[in-house]
Structure 1
């Protein structure tokens, strides 16, 4: 997928924040871009900012609605012919103590963040494979999926699932020409804090009203965050380099290292290995994607 010129990307949550940054970068690389988003106002603003009406298709889409996802995919193919890149970027968030979470809090976040990605893959992967021209699937996973912290249980659980989805799909699909990447940004100037404005009425019950109020009263820290353009260009680079993990912030190195080392330290070291078990289930004990990614990153940084 190094040759992006004239090919088509489908970006969910694409009309603001990270999604819009990705759309801008892919448009700049010569791609047609389908900008799918739940908010009409954001779609209108994105069309204005992106320009290039001949290369942009703005579609209103609730990623939890499978029928509408199919209709959006059909519209994209009607307009541009084939879809090559899927960016499962639409996301929402709630944060706060786990014991305050309601079923509605869990269902809303999981339906959008995980269910939306499932719907994207199930709807678009067969279409990408069918044209045989190769493709790329990117899940916006967040560093919360790799370095989770207390108070983010719902959000981080869903984002960790998105990381694992890409790690499982990568060895399955790479030989068939479809690369899968986990995009794990740190803080980005986005509108995810306002995602509650599109929360469905039937899932409106929340245990986080006070926690959300305290968050909003905490001040504006956008000056510390990367811009949508910066992360959009980072995703483009990750696509061009076939990266498994597309990361944005070096500040997470200590956390990533400590988590890996904690797992290594927890593996039983003094127990003899069962050679028959090890041989019989060899496919379960490692994945080639990690050695491949280590080699790729060494080459990229050389």
Structure 2
């Protein structure tokens, strides 16, 4: 069990959505919080809110920027103390059909959704191990990191990797007293789809006017679907509970449960070919 009170948490994507929900839960539980995000205005608003509860520092950070990560780590540890709670939460949604995607979009999606997690781990975990004071790492994946859904090849590829990374990290870090969890949410009431759509690189093959209208309609429908999901503050509470209990998997709903069971049955059934 990890007691978060008095510890320092570093949360990427911490000014919006799930990241802000995690920050609120950690602050209420007595942790200092450092928030990293690309949205400077949202960081200012989050700091104003949370500073009434706990110590807060904010950093404008692209999680693909390794030097920026190192600078933020040095700064937060000088101001708030050693980071022993790490939340690699920043992520982007969507992608494009493979035939229209191109390398730029692959690099963008993998760079943020997987590379950002790698950069967070590489920046903070060696420090945590060297201090010998334990801690906890939470990586945000998705239900789409457990079983393929309609989330697209790019997103699914990155999130499957994040799940596997968390499982391997748990095995490696348990001897150091560092817990590991992987958050695999279903729909959460955030604006991630529209927020990240404006940031992504252009498709390799430009869309026609009709295709553009279809994409915009899908964005609207997906955003509306997400708004019916679990509130981000509730997800933050789930994450806090998992850290305290040192649970590996964190689910927010049962939406992929049947699909996951079918996948596992298919995997096991494939061994019959060896008989």
> Structures share a fold, TM > 0.5?
yes
Q: How far is 1:192 from its partner?
A: 1.6
CA distance in 1, matches of 2:20, 2:151: 28
8 Å CA contact 1:6–1:31 kept in 2: the answer is: yes
What is the DSSP-based 3-state SS (H/G/I as helix, E as strand, rest coil) of the residue aligned with 2:78? helix
Tell me the equivalent position of 1:224.
228
8 Å CA contact 1:86–1:136 kept in 2: the answer is: yes
Give the direction of change, closer, same or farther, for the CA distance of 1:31–1:261 in structure 2 (3 Å limit). same
Tell me the equivalent position of 1:249.
253
Correspondence 1:261 to 2:265: yes
Runs of 4+ in 1 over 2 A off after TM superposition: 48-54, 95-98, 196-199, 203-212, 216-223, 268-271
Q: Matched residue pairs, number?
A: 268
Q: How far is 1:151 from its partner?
A: 5.3
8 Å CA contact 1:97–1:151 kept in 2: the answer is: no
Correspondence 1:14 to 2:14: yes
- The one of 212, 226, 242 equivalent to 1:238 is 242
What runs of 5+ residues in structure 1 fail to find an aligned partner? 272-302
Correspondence 1:181 to 2:185: no
8 Å CA contact 1:47–1:53 kept in 2: the answer is: no
8 Å CA contact 2:28–2:53 kept in 1: the answer is: no
Give the direction of change, closer, same or farther, for the CA distance of 1:176–1:92 in structure 2 (3 Å limit). same
CA distance in 1, matches of 2:188, 2:117: 20
The one-character-per-residue Cα deviations of 1:56-99 (angstroms, maximum 9, x if unpaired) are: 11111111001000000001100112111111000012244222
Q: How far is 1:148 from its partner?
A: 1.4
8 Å CA contact 2:36–2:58 kept in 1: the answer is: yes
CA distance in 2, matches of 1:50, 1:84: 19
Tell me the equivalent position of 1:125.
125
Tell me the equivalent position of 1:80.
80
Structure number, greater radius of gyration: 1
Give the direction of change, closer, same or farther, for the CA distance of 1:206–1:270 in structure 2 (3 Å limit). closer
Q: RMSD of aligned C-alpha atoms?
A: 1.9
TM-score (norm: length of structure 1)? 0.83
8 Å CA contact 1:15–1:43 kept in 2: the answer is: yes
Q: How far is 1:239 from its partner?
A: 0.5
TM-score (norm: length of structure 2)? 0.91
